[in-house]
A and B are shown apart, each in its own frame.
Chain A
Amino acid sequence: NAGVTQTPKFRILKIGQSMTLQCTQDMNHNYMYWYRQDPGMGLKLIYYSVGAGITDKGEVPNGYNVSRSTTEDFPLRLELAAPSQTSVYFCASSKDRELDTQYFGPGTRLTVL
């Protein structure tokens, strides 16, 4: 199993541009999450999904959108990039919601200039 994969690994955007961060897992996990990690801060939840077709907001959803059309894929969309979205983005998945290990992707380092 490849686990959780993310693309791209690095990206530089200009203010106002849009992009999609891709996340795929091959473990047939129901739950998927997007987190962002800012320097000196703990990871914060952006969006999560409890299964195909079901998504919900986390702690810091503004400026982002997600979709979950399949069990495997959970893309994160930035519509109008802003410097405040400069961060490292991690996708994670777990089989169950509670009391289950979360598996993390390698991360995407995004810079908005």
Chain B
Amino acid sequence: KNEVEQSPQNLTAQEGEFITINCSYSVGISALHWLQQHPGGGIVSLFMLSSGKKKHGRLIATINIQEKHSSLHITASHPRDSAVYICAVEGSGGGADGLTFGKGTHLIIQP
């Protein structure tokens, strides 16, 4: 069973700061997902990646398959980025068993 660890668990930063959230996992995967959970509870998929780097607006996600590690970066952070960011991995074993999730990083961006 894959173990997914995120750090930090909680992060408070000032508007404009560069944010990094980390995710590590224990077993090889086919893909890694970054999700955003809004204060109202809804969950939105931000990225899905299996190698390298992806960028969408101010968000950048990277993954290092050899090190079993991924990072989510937010540039020029804004209060509307305040949310819980969740890392989830897809196993490479071939079974249709959904995602394994980290516990999330609670991010607060103060004006």
Partner of A99, one of B35, B50, B88, B102: B50
A97: Cβ under 8 A from any B Cβ: yes
Q: Which of A13-21, A44-52, A68-76 contacts B (4 or more CB under 8 A)?
A: A44-52
- List the B side residues contacting A90 at CB < 8 Å: 43
Q: A41-B103, A104-B43 are in contact. Are A98 and B90 (CB under 8 A)?
A: yes
Residues of B whose CB lies within 8 Å of any CB of A are 4, 30-31, 33, 35, 41-45, 48, 50, 86, 88, 90, 96-104
Q: Hey, which chain B residues are within 8 Å of A33, CB to CB?
A: 98
Q: Which 3 A-B pairs have the closest CB atoms?
A: A42-B101, A45-B98, A104-B43
Q: Are B96 and A42 in contact (CB under 8 A)?
A: no
Chain A residues at the B interface, C-beta cutoff of 8 Å: 31, 33, 35, 40-45, 48, 50, 56, 58-59, 88, 90, 92, 97-104, 106-107, 109
Residue A106 contacts which of B42, B98, B102 (CB distance < 8 angstroms)? B42
Q: Cβ of A58 and Cβ of B97 under 8 Å apart?
A: yes
CA distance A45 to B97 in the complex (A): 8
> Contacting B44 at CB < 8 Å: which of A88, A98, A104?
A104
B30 to chain A, nearest CB (A): 5
Partner of B30, one of A41, A42, A50, A99: A99
Q: Are A101 and B96 in contact (CB under 8 A)?
A: no
Q: How far is the CA of A4 from the CA of B45 in the complex (A)?
A: 13
12 examples of A-B residue contacts, CB within 8 angstroms: A42-B100, A50-B96, A58-B97, A88-B41, A90-B43, A97-B96, A99-B31, A99-B48, A99-B50, A101-B45, A102-B45, A107-B43
What CA separation (Å) do A42 and B104 show in the bound complex? Answer: 7
Give chain B nearest CB distance to A110 CB in angstroms: 13
Residues from chain A with a CB closer than 8 A to the CB of B86 are 42-43
CB distance from B73 to the nearest CB of A (A): 20
Can you add 16 more A-B contacts, CB < 8 Å, to A33-B98, A107-B41? A35-B101, A40-B103, A41-B103, A42-B86, A42-B101, A42-B102, A45-B99, A56-B96, A92-B43, A99-B31, A101-B33, A101-B45, A102-B45, A104-B43, A106-B41, A109-B41
